[in-house]
Structure 1
Amino acid sequence: MKLTVEISKYPLADNYIDPIKEFIDQLNSYDNVHVITNSLSTQVFGDYDDVMAAIQGCIKWSFEKYGKVVFVCKFLHGDLRS
C-alpha cells in the first residue's frame, strides 16, 4: 500500500531553521522513501511501512536532539505524485 504524508515541523526555539533542515536531512537518509520539500512543508512518499518507519525514526530523533517540537502531519492513502 502506498502512502503520502505531509509534515510541518515547528521547533519551539529561537533557532528554528537548523532543526528543520536536519529533520529533512534525516528523512532523506532513508533510501525507500521519496522526499519533496517546499517552503511550507515536507512531503514523504512510498510504501506505507517504509514511510511510517522513516517518520517515526525522524520524529523520535528530533525529540531526543531538540526537545519540544510541534509536528503537524497529514496522511493520504496512495501516492499523491501519481
Structure 2
Amino acid sequence: MQLSVEISLYPLQDNYLEIIKWFIDRVDAYPDVQRLTNGMSTQLGGDYDVVMALLATEMKAAHQQWGRGVFVCKFIPGGVNLDHSE
C-alpha cells in the first residue's frame, strides 16, 4: 500500500533553517521514498511501511539531536502523485 505524507517541522530554536535542512537531508537518504519540498512543507511518498519507519526514525533523531520541535503531518493512504501541479 502506498502512503503520502505532508510534513512540516517547526524547530523551537533560532537556527530553525539549519535544523529543517538537516531533517530534509536525512530524509533524502531513503532512496525508496519520493520527496518534494516547497516553502511551507515537505511531501513524502512511497510504501506505507517504509514511509512510517522513516518518520519514526527521523522524527526521533531530530528530537534527540535538536531538542524541542513541532512536527505537523497529514497522511493520505493510497498516495498521491507528488509530481502533479496545477
- Aligned-CA RMSD value: 1.0
Deviations 1:24-62 (A, max 9, x none): 011110111111110000000000001001111110110
Deviation of the 1:79 alpha carbon: 2.0
Instruction: Note the residue ranges of structure 1 that are not aligned, 5 or more in a row.
Output: none
Separation in 2, partners of 1:11, 1:36: 20
Where do residues 1-82 of structure 1 align in structure 2 (5 Å cutoff)? 1-81=1-81
Q: Which amino acid counterpart does residue 42 of structure 1 have in structure 2?
A: T
Identical-residue share of aligned pairs (%): 49
How many residues matched? 82
Instruction: Note the residue ranges of structure 2 that are not aligned, 5 or more in a row.
Output: none
| TM value normalised by structure 2 | 0.92
Q: Which amino acid counterpart does residue 79 of structure 1 have in structure 2?
A: G
| TM value normalised by structure 1 | 0.96
